[in-house]
């Protein structure tokens, strides 16, 4: 009879690093919530006998910590590190989160959190992870506004802090996030910004310019030619792309709206796909954190000599305006974008109308 292998309570794993070594971490589940605990311990490339001995000692220590965690879980001490987290300052918790993101190679997002910590320290209030309330957070937002920060920056910091509180809830360090107790009208205003997009001429210039990340380059251009949001780009699987009688077709259930969208793939879209085409698996696997992606796109656009303020989401705007300027009717554009209300799509039609007016006004007078 075949025996079923018993699942381990705690597993010891290695995360590959750029230098060829690896970082050790533990995986375990507490009350149905998965936890990843980085040990701040590293395996180096064994170039010498000393390196091999060092790796052996590191593994022995890591296995000892693993054994300790197993005992703690079996004895019902699943909250072995929660008590100290609950009373810690919010800034200390965010500093620990920075370490977490650095382990995931999200340097830009870590720097983003560092800026939030500076503004919390300058604010001067004592906000703890457990004791933080909405009045403190709103006071901090007012402090930033009085300090001259733009509304868009304040809103960005506010939303990022909310993400960190949700992480603390998921890890059962706190029971509820203070952000869940806020009414919509209390939150910092979300400022509508102009929908920037790239013309075909600018896309050609961008495509011909080198960037820091080929994966970000391909993902951004693919979004420009399909209109996929960043969330759908991240989850896009090779199984979502199929060959039909009329050509290649992309079909995916959108993360935001939960509705299906069917997009015929143009030669432009196909040309920027990664070269490896397995039957399944993420198309844009290991795409960096959103903050890092947007920073890479901004630097790339600047290097190409384009002065527009372009983020990854502008790729979706680019797709819509390219379709409309090419003569595609607005209802078809609405379907390709996966939108349910044509009034939302008409925003792009207004942009195209402005382009037409500008083109007419550019004709010299007699």
Check residue 72 and give its pLDDT: 78
One domain for residues 215 and 298: yes
Check residue 115 and give its pLDDT: 92
Asked if residue 128 belongs to a domain, the reply is yes
Tens digits of per-residue pLDDT, 308-351?
Answer: 989 898 999 999 989 988 888 888 888 899 888 777 787 787 77
Distance CA 266, CA 307 (A): 27
β-bridge partners, 261: 252
One domain for residues 74 and 101: no
One domain for residues 144 and 257: no
One domain for residues 231 and 338: yes
- Last-in-domain residue among 151, 186, 221: 186
One domain for residues 273 and 352: yes
One domain for residues 157 and 66: no
One domain for residues 109 and 254: no
Check residue 7 and give its pLDDT: 66
Tens digits of per-residue pLDDT, 138-184?
Answer: 999 999 988 888 788 888 899 899 999 988 888 778 888 898 888 87
Contact 238, 262 (CB under 8 A): no
Distance CA 328, CA 319 (A): 11
Q: Is the pLDDT of residue 103 over 90?
A: no
Select the more confidently predicted residue: 191 or 341: 341
Nearest to 122 by CA among 143, 93, 94: 143
Q: pLDDT-derived band of residue 191, with 50, 70 and 90 as boundaries?
A: low
Contact 226, 322 (CB under 8 A): no
One domain for residues 145 and 209: no
Q: Alpha carbon of 294 to those of 203, 256, 315: distances in Å?
A: 17, 19, 11
Check residue 356 and give its pLDDT: 62
Q: Alpha carbon of 312 to those of 56, 127, 293: distances in Å?
A: 44, 33, 7
Contact 317, 195 (CB under 8 A): yes
- Last-in-domain residue among 186, 218, 239: 186
Q: Is the pLDDT of residue 5 over 60?
A: no
Nearest to 156 by CA among 187, 184, 186, 196: 187
Domains held by the chain: number: 3
Q: Alpha carbon of 59 to those of 23, 40, 65, 339: distances in Å?
A: 11, 12, 10, 52
Q: For residue 104, what are the domain limits?
A: 84-186
Distance CA 337, CA 283 (A): 20
Asked if residue 2 belongs to a domain, the reply is no
Check residue 276 and give its pLDDT: 65
CATH number of residue 98's parent domain = 1.10.150
One domain for residues 209 and 357: yes
Report the run of H or E that residue 262 belongs to, with start and end. strand 260-264
DSSP letter for 89, please. Answer: B
Burial of 337 (0-12, 13-18, 19+ CB in 10 A): buried
CATH number of residue 279's parent domain = 1.10.443.10
What number of other Cβ atoms are within 10 A of residue 353's Cβ?
12
Asked if residue 4 belongs to a domain, the reply is no
Q: pLDDT-derived band of residue 361, with 50, 70 and 90 as boundaries?
A: low
Asked if residue 195 belongs to a domain, the reply is no
One domain for residues 212 and 356: yes
What number of other Cβ atoms are within 10 A of residue 159's Cβ?
13
Nearest to 199 by CA among 306, 334, 313, 328: 306
Distance CA 176, CA 170 (A): 9
Q: How much is the mean pLDDT over the chain? A: 83
Nearest to 319 by CA among 357, 271, 266: 266
Q: pLDDT-derived band of residue 98, with 50, 70 and 90 as boundaries?
A: confident
One domain for residues 30 and 154: no
- Last-in-domain residue among 80, 98, 117: 80
Report helix, strand and coil shares of the chain as percent, to nearest 5: 50, 15, 35
**pLDDT exceeding 90 applies to what percent of the chain?**
31
DSSP-assigned states of every residue in 109-166: HHHHHHHHHHHHHHH----BTTT--HHHHHHHHHHHHHTT--HHHHHHHHHHHHHHHH
One domain for residues 54 and 169: no
Check residue 227 and give its pLDDT: 94
């Amino acid at each position: 009879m075949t025996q079923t292998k018993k699942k381990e309570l705690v597993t010891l794993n290695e995360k590959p690093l750029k230098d060829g070594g690896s970082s050790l971490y533990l995986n375990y589940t507490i009350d149905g919530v998965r936890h990843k605990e980085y040990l701040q311990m590293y395996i180096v490339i064994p170039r010498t006998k000393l390196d091999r001995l060092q790796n052996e000692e590191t593994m022995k220590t890591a296995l000892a910590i693993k054994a300790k965690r197993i005992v703690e879980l079996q004895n019902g001490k699943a909250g072995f590190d929660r008590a100290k987290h609950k009373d810690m300052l919010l800034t200390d918790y965010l500093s620990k989160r920075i370490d977490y993101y650095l382990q995931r190679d999200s340097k830009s997002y870590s720097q983003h959190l560092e800026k939030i910590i500076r503004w919390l320290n300058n604010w001067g209030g004592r906000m703890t992870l457990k004791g933080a309330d909405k009045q403190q957070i709103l006071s901090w937002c007012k402090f930033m506004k009085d300090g001259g920060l733009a509304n868009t920056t304040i809103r960005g910091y506010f939303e990022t802090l909310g993400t960190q509180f949700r992480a603390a809830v998921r890890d059962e360090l706190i029971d509820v996030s203070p952000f869940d107790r806020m009414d919509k009208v209390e939150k910092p205003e979300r400022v509508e910004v102009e929908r920037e997009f790239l013309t075909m001429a600018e896309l050609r210039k961008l495509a011909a310019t080198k960037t820091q990340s080929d994966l970000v380059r391909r993902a951004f251009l693919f979004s420009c030619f399909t209109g996929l949001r960043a969330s759908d780009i991240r989850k896009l699987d090779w199984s979502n792309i199929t060959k039909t009688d009329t050509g290649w077709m992309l079909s995916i259930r959108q993360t935001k709206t939960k509705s299906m969208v069917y997009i015929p793939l143009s030669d432009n879209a196909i040309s920027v796909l990664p070269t490896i085409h397995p039957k399944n698996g993420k198309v844009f696997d290991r795409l960096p954190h959103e903050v890092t992606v947007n920073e890479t796109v901004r630097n790339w656009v600047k290097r190409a000599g384009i002065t527009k303020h372009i983020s990854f989401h502008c790729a979706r705007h680019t797709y819509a305006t390219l379709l409309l300027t090419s003569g595609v009717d607005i209802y078809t554009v609405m379907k390709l974008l996966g939108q349910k209300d044509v009034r939302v799509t008409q925003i792009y039609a207004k942009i195209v109308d402005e382009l037409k007016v500008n083109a007419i006004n550019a004709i010299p007078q007699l």
